[in-house]
Amino acid sequence: MCGIVAAVADRNIVSVLLEGLRRLEYRGYDSAGLALVTPNGLQRLRAVGRVAELEAQVSASGAAGSAGIAHTRWATHGVPCERNAHPHVSGGLAVVHNGIIENHEALRARLKQEGYEFTSDTDTEVVAHLVAAELKKTPDLFAATRAAITQLQGAYALAVLRETDPDRVIVAREGSPLLLGLSDQGNYAASDASALLQVTRRIVYLENGDCAELTRDSYRITRVDGTPVVRDETESHLSADAVELGPYRHYMQKEIFEQPVALANTLEMLGTARSIQPGLFGANTEEVLKDVRQVLIVACGTSFHAGLVARYWLEAIAGIPCSVEVASEYRYRDSVPDSNTLVVTLSQSGETADTLAALQHAKALGMTKTLCICNVPESSLVRENALRFITRAGPEIGVASTKAFTTQLASLYLLTLIFAKLRGRLAPEVEAAELQALRHLPVAVSKVLELEPQIRAWSERFAMKQDALFLGRGRHYPIALEGALKLKEISYIHAEAYPAGELKHGPLALVDKDMPVIAVAPNDALLEKLKSNLQEVRARGGELYVFADADSEMTDSEGVHVLLLPEHYGQLSALLHVIPLQLLAYHVALVRGTDVDKPRNLAKSVTVE
């Protein structure tokens, strides 16, 4: 979603702003812009489309300056067009904004009455005019910005620049991520540390309600009322190289093939031990989990699907009741809280607005036993939980999540084993075998990845279809959901997933020769039932594409295409069965020529609700 980069330094910062925006491209956006203080006043450049278009404008204009703000916009209020692209300006000042100003209509009406003219449909433009209005009462940009902020409702990360303040950038945060980057050559701000690694690793994370004033050789942070606050400086350990594409054609492809390494890194701390240490989730894990009677998992998108798989594990292996909810539903629902619930939030980014709000909601209901499983150690979510587990998938750039999903699953399996152990349900020899199975996962996943040529061949046939139906049973039903999500996200083929037992209760009506049906068919207790469901599809002329295990005794026949996965992997087979579905979606999208890494209308990190 929207990204912010701001800089004030002792040199021309245009290249820093542009490189920062490029590093944020993966979040998804539809237009980009920047504003600079130049000797001739404020210069603003904006472009619809990619950062490369903005860069072309910048080089054509020869724009240069030592203070600037820049933005990638993902449209919420107003269509993607240059007029709506940030920065928005008012009276010699410029503003970029992430988030949503919820009371923008009332503010707009008031500001119009005061004589301010609006040139965009965005909620952000009210902020520019509000700061301009406050500057009539105080000459100080920092004070005026804070006064403007007190009138805002909603979520925001903001950066403000003024042409008469060539050595100053003001920033503020409430609900949307923002951090400062410090260096001897200048000071910076961004919505994501990866944008600033090019210039510094010295990071200060702002908290909600913080505002900051940056100059080239100083910074100060206050609360909105002006009270000074001190926030710790940390060193970012993000790898700058990890976001390079390398030999791959797309980030999604790279990330699918990185899964063996991502899993190995995530599980590295297991070492060669034959028993699992609860401390993996934090030093006080046993204390927090002691009286837990149930688990509530909240998440969005692909992370939600990981939670759905985990429910099968937690109930079957650890014997603990588990419910899983979409975060945007849970946060607004009247639910029945139980303080002995472990609330587990799952998130690749750790910045998903609904997941963060769902956690706050649970805490406000008195549920303080909280655990997050997250891929970004420096994210907002990680800072707000009693227990945490960091998946070590490395930066995930493709909008469609892949390696974050499988590493979340591995982490959730560890959680299941810890619960099982604490509840006396894990015999030592079973524990050792489970850990061995986890350690073997990277090898098992590598073998599944070798199926790519066959899946590529299948994808040619899918590319012409308008719809697809995914079927699975038990813990592989969420895998079918994930397969359908991947396909629709990046190929724009309408896809639905059903538990196979539900086939006769509706979706069978859709099945004909034009509807491919993809079945996730591991060799488990439900295989024979699933085979009967597949017969029902064949009887209606539906073409079947079956992902089965090597020992499932399924073979190709008329209208039935079978691809055998090399290993039968028991409870962990969900991790293997999702891989071919990721590859299928990727190759179908390639054939259809869609923008694999940045599918239309979607964003990587959904920082607004």
Q: Taking CB under 6 A as the rule, does residue 607 contact ligand G6P?
A: no
Least distance from ligand G6P to the Cβ atom of residue 399, Å: 5
| 144 half-sphere exposure, CB direction, 13 A CA radius | 23
Indicate the DSSP class of residue 117.
Answer: P
Q: Taking CB under 6 A as the rule, does residue 604 contact ligand G6P?
A: yes
Q: Taking CB under 6 A as the rule, does residue 355 contact ligand G6P?
A: yes
User: What would the two tokens of residue 365 be?
Assistant: 């209901």
Residue identified by tokens 């590598």 is: 446
Q: Taking CB under 6 A as the rule, does residue 401 contact ligand G6P?
A: yes
- Pick one of 18, 420, 606, 608: the residue that binds ligand G6P (CB under 6 A): 606
- Pick one of 84, 352, 370, 411: the residue that binds ligand G6P (CB under 6 A): 352
Q: Taking CB under 6 A as the rule, does residue 380 contact ligand G6P?
A: no
Residues 6+ apart with CB under 8 A from 392: 262, 265, 266, 268, 375, 407
Stretch of 113-121, 165-173, 453-461, 599-607 lying at the interface with ligand G6P (CB under 6 A):
599-607
Least distance from ligand G6P to the Cβ atom of residue 602, Å: 5
- Pick one of 191, 349, 573, 607: the residue that binds ligand G6P (CB under 6 A): 349
Which of 191, 302 has the CB closer to ligand G6P?
A: 302
Q: Are 141 and 164 in contact (CB under 8 A)?
A: no
3-state secondary structure of 7: strand
Residues 292-311 that bind ligand G6P (CB under 6 A): 300-303
Residue nearest to ligand G6P (CB): 301
Counting residues that bind ligand G6P (by CB under 6 A) gives: 16
Which of 143, 243 has the CB closer to ligand G6P?
A: 243
Q: Taking CB under 6 A as the rule, does residue 403 contact ligand G6P?
A: no
Least distance from ligand G6P to the Cβ atom of residue 34, Å: 26
Least distance from ligand G6P to the Cβ atom of residue 355, Å: 5
Q: Which residues are catalytic?
A: 2, 604
Which of 21, 399 has the CB closer to ligand G6P?
A: 399
Q: Taking CB under 6 A as the rule, does residue 242 contact ligand G6P?
A: no
Give the ranges where 509-566 is alpha helix by DSSP (H): 527-539
- φ/ψ of residue 223, rounded to 5: -80, 175
| Residue 199 to residue 25: CA distance in whole angstroms | 18
- Pick one of 176, 347, 407, 416: the residue that binds ligand G6P (CB under 6 A): 347
Least distance from ligand G6P to the Cβ atom of residue 483, Å: 14
| Residue 359 to residue 371: CA distance in whole angstroms | 10
| 42 half-sphere exposure, CB direction, 13 A CA radius | 19
Q: Taking CB under 6 A as the rule, does residue 253 contact ligand G6P?
A: no
Give the ranges where 301-402 is alpha helix by DSSP (H): 301-316, 327-330, 353-364
Angle of helix 573-592 versus helix 452-462 axis, rounded to 10: 50
| Residue 22 to residue 190: CA distance in whole angstroms | 12
| Residue 132 to residue 574: CA distance in whole angstroms | 55
Residue whose C-alpha is closest to residue 181's, from 460, 428, 378, 372 = 378
Would you mind telling me the total number of residues written for the chain in this entry? 609
Least distance from ligand G6P to the Cβ atom of residue 347, Å: 3
- Pick one of 194, 259, 348, 552: the residue that binds ligand G6P (CB under 6 A): 348
User: What would the two tokens of residue 606 be?
Assistant: 């959904």
CA dihedral 335, 340, 341, 344 (to 10 degrees): 130
Which of 219, 304 has the CB closer to ligand G6P?
A: 304
Least distance from ligand G6P to the Cβ atom of residue 604, Å: 5
Q: Taking CB under 6 A as the rule, does residue 406 contact ligand G6P?
A: no
Residue whose C-alpha is closest to residue 341's, from 316, 370, 317 = 370
Binding site for ligand G6P (CB under 6 A): 300-303, 347-349, 352, 355, 399-401, 602, 604-606
